[in-house]
Amino acid sequence: MTESQKARTVRDSADVVILGAGPAGLVLGNLLRAAGVDCVILERAAREHVQTRARAGYLAQHTVSILERHGLAEGLRRRGQEHAVCEFRTEDDRFRLDYSLLGKGEQHWVYPQQELVTDLLNRYLTAGGRICFQTGAEAVRDFGGTRPTVDVRDADGRPGRWHARYVAGCDGRHGAARRSLPAGAVRRYHRDHAVTWLGLLAQAPPSLDAVGYAVHPRGFAGHMARSPEVTRYYLQVPRGTAPGAWSGERIWDELALRLGAAAHGPLRSGPIVQRAVVDLESDVLEPLRHGSLFLVGDAAGLISPSAAKGANLAVLEAEILADGLTAALRHSDPGPLDRYSAQCLAYIWRAQEFSHWMIRLLHAEPEAGGAQDGADGGSPFQDRLRHSRLQALRSSRTQQDWFAENYVGL
């Protein structure tokens, strides 16, 4: 082997190769760096894109605790906003729950994901962490043994290969980690909830001092503050609706109708700066470990956004995996890694159960054998059950405590 080949082998190797620079990959990278574990992050997108892509903005108390425990919460504490109230609206009425006074007394922090990602990335690079942007992982190979490799391609189309002892697939449901699993190696549990949302980011101040959930015959509408100047809205729409199909005027009219602006106060409107259509789906892969390859975040399981669990699960899984990898690599203790899949799946399925409950609370359930058309015209029997759930949530302290514990926690 020539000296240049030796140098390339050292450069393109790490004890842990992390695929993806989202919250899961960056939390994992920071924790491994702090533990003295050699790692590298491979990210398909450019740095600017990573730091500006808008995603979820609600962090649960356990997520904040993880970030604080590892010294990663400085930006959150400085710029994040505490949030503890949600409001449910129907055609007839509304009621509010201060969930910080219910259940375990926990609350959310509102902190846009792109700001969290920027914080984590800056901390990782300042600590000397290695990251390769515009490096797309094509396939993970030989992960049944002890020396897996990752085939990559850079922005110019040049192929490459990274050598590792472990690979962490934090690259989402369509990433190389999932694609590399052979047929029969994993069991996939999948559900299409037959509900579609039009997700909107508006350059407009929040109109409520709470998270707003509107249950309306025309479909669900949601209001979630992101900052004093930006608000995220959701509108249930028919399946197949294109992101740009609705005009801005129609969107604001529909939001005002479903959120009951005439009865409860007008909405503060503004330019819609981002649109995306989301088909509410859930899926979970079992197991999450395949030899030296581990699935984390959306690669492990996709959860609907109805209860804001995705990023929170990703951070939790990253901490669990970091502990396991550190124990294996620094202390020759394989036990925590052996428990990774079962430990994470317990949290994932609990979050999935609550997310499914929220979906059925907020949306009509279609008749058996029918398809949801987005107009919220489902089974009359299921509609009455949904009404009963809302009434129980309004009046029963036991139900409110259960809701609060599951809404904020895992």
The residues pairing with 284 across neighbouring beta strands, listed in sequence order, are 189, 301
CA distance 149 to 141: 5
Q: Determine whether 82 is exposed, middle or buried from the number of CB atoms within 10 Å of its CB (0-12, 13-18, 19+).
A: exposed
Distance CA 351, CA 337 (A): 22
Distance between CA atoms of residues 126 and 110, nearest Å: 25
Phi, psi (degrees; rounded to nearest 5) at 132: -115, 105
CB 224 within 8 A of CB 401: no
Q: Where are the beta strands (DSSP E) in 73-206?
A: 81-83, 85-89, 94-98, 108-110, 130-132, 135-141, 149-154, 159-169, 187-202
Beta carbons within 10 angstroms of residue 378's beta carbon: 18
- Write the Ramachandran bin of 330: left for phi over 0, alpha for psi from -120 to 50, otherwise beta: alpha
Catalytically active residues are 83, 213, 305, 309, 407
CA distance 299 to 244: 28
Query: Pairing mode, if any, of strands 159-169 and 293-295?
Result: parallel
DSSP for 188-239, written as a single string: EEEEEEEEEEEEEEESS--SSSSEEEE--TT--EEEEE-SSS-EEEEEEE-T
Q: At what angle do helices 335-362 and 380-395 cross, to 10 degrees?
A: 110
Residue 348's H or E segment, with its range, is helix 335-362
Residues composing the chain? 410
Closest CA to 109 of 149, 140, 68: 68
